[in-house]
Amino acid sequence: MRPIQSTLKKWLNENENFQQRYETMKKEILADKSVDNFLSNYPEITDEAIDKRLNKLYEYVSQSKQCDKCNCVDDCINVVKGYSPILQWVDGEIHIAYEKCHRLLNEEKNALKENLVKSLYMPKEILQATISDLHYDSHRKHAFFETNKFLDEAKQTLPQKGVFFSGPFGVGKTYFLGAIANRLQQLGFSSTLIYMPEFVHQMREAIKHNRVQERLDEFKYADVLMFDDIGAETMSAWFRDEILGSILQYRMMEQLPVFFTSNYTMDQLEKILSSSTKGEIEEVKAGRIMERIKQVSKEVTLSGHNRRN
């Protein structure tokens, strides 16, 4: 008999302790300011409904709300990292929904911006260039004017024409491309920067793997396309007409801007494009390419000393 009485007494004591802990926990939860505000907005919520969903209220109270208990997404203490709990009163019951916290939203926004600038074999310093880093002098006056004009218009809508920066080695043509791309990134536009000699090589490789159309599409659809050092590569008639011509034709029809850098003027580049790798002179086809280049960009000449020295 005694073992039964002892067991019963122990159970009653433990049950009483549980009830006390439960009431204490409930009091602490209801004392939470956010929970109190929530219940105040729904006076129809009964004590029975609270008891039924006290576990949800505890889940809510124990988590970080809009990062008040977290320093970053990686350190988030919540059930789902980067998501903040919200109390809801739906169909007569208390529920918890989750929404992205402001830290996660900022991370996603920054990640999206980073992805707006894509490059194919461009130097790291170019990808980090900013407009404020560009040195202004009389040799760059026209380049600055056209760059600022393009970026000012881009605040409203993307201009139809980019810039064809021509000039000798080392005057900063490529740096202008990087600075423009990073400013466009802040405005929410995507840019693809391509080092032209490597691009020619990459497209030859794409033929072997049957990926020509896939690579073409990457360059056709970017908001802003940038070709660095056009004219420096040995370009086959196939590449000139089927690759470069196709990209420029699409962007001309869709009124999408293209930027170029070259050591040659447009007139000089046309002569280079007319000479194929087979030694043939194809002035008509070269002229067709140059007409497209002129439709998607305007020429600006840079001069001055070689900044690479």
Examine the domain organization and report whether 137 and 256 are in the same domain. yes
Q: What is the predicted pLDDT for the residue at 217?
A: 80
Instruction: For residue 249, name the pLDDT band (cuts at 50, 70, 90).
Output: very high
CB 99 within 8 A of CB 84: yes
Kindly state whether residues 69 and 153 are assigned to the same domain: no
Query: Which one, of 129, 145, 157, lies nearest residue 224 by Cα?
Result: 157
Confidence bin at 9 (pLDDT 50/70/90): low
Per-residue pLDDT reduced to its tens digit, 142-166: 999 999 999 999 999 999 999 999 9
How many Cβ atoms are within 10 Å of 126's Cβ, its own excluded?
19
285 lies in the same domain as 257: yes
Q: What is the pLDDT of residues 182-202, one digit of tens each?
A: 899 888 888 889 888 888 888
The answer to whether residues 174 and 223 belong to one domain is: yes
- Which of the listed residues 56, 78, 104 is the one where a domain comes to its end? 104
For 180, 196, 234, 280, the CA distances from 259, given in Å and listed in that order, are 10, 12, 20, 28
263 pLDDT band (50/70/90 cuts)?
very high
Query: What is the tens place of the pLDDT at every residue in 65-97?
Result: 877 777 787 888 887 788 888 888 888 888 988
Answer with the one of 71, 104, 137 that is the final residue of a domain. 104
Same domain, 121 and 240: yes
Residue-level pLDDT at 6: 60
Rounded Cα gap, residues 275 and 240, in angstroms: 10
Q: 247 and 186, same structural domain?
A: yes
Residue 77 included in any domain: yes
**Averaged pLDDT for residues 207-234:** 85
Over 70: is that where the pLDDT of 4 sits? no
Is residue 21, in this structure, part of any structural domain at all? no
pLDDT at 164: 97
Mean per-residue pLDDT for 271-277?
82
- pLDDT at res. 265: 95
CB burial class (10 A; 0-12, 13-18, 19+) of residue 304? middle
Same domain, 120 and 241: yes
Q: What is the pLDDT, as a whole number, of residue 248?
A: 93
130 plus 71 within the same structural domain: no
**Which position has the higher pLDDT, 50 or 278?**
50
**Residue 211 sits in the same domain as residue 283:** yes
CA distance 103 to 82: 7
Q: Is residue 5 part of a domain?
A: no
Domain ranges, residue 36: 32-104
Look at residue 28 and tell me whether its pLDDT is greater than 70.
yes
92 and 224 together in one domain:
no
How do residues 123-133 score in pLDDT, each as one tens digit?
778 878 888 88
**Of 77, 104, 131, which closes a domain?**
104
Q: Which residue has the higher pLDDT, 79 or 272?
A: 272
Residue 23, in any domain of the structure: no
45 lies in the same domain as 121: no
Q: Is residue 231 within 8 Å of 269, Cβ to Cβ?
A: yes
What integer is the mean pLDDT of 221-226?
90
| Tally of domains in the chain | 2
The most confident of 44-48, 105-109, 127-131, 146-150, by mean pLDDT? 146-150
Label residue 231 left, alpha or beta by phi (over 0 means left) and psi (-120 to 50 means alpha).
left
- 6 lies in some domain: no
Residue 7 has pLDDT above 80, yes or no: no
pLDDT at 163: 97
**Given this model, what pLDDT does residue 1 score?**
44
Both 120 and 99 in one domain: the answer is no
Residue bearing the bigger pLDDT, 114 or 199: 199
CATH code, domain carrying 127: 3.40.50.300
Using 50, 70 and 90 to split pLDDT, how confident is the model at 26?
A: confident
282 domain-assigned: yes
Average pLDDT over all residues of the chain? 84
pLDDT computed for residue 132 by the predictor: 87
User: Is the residue at 20 inside a domain?
Assistant: no
Q: Is residue 71 part of a domain?
A: yes
- The Cβ-side half-sphere exposure at 237, using a 13 Å CA radius, reads 12
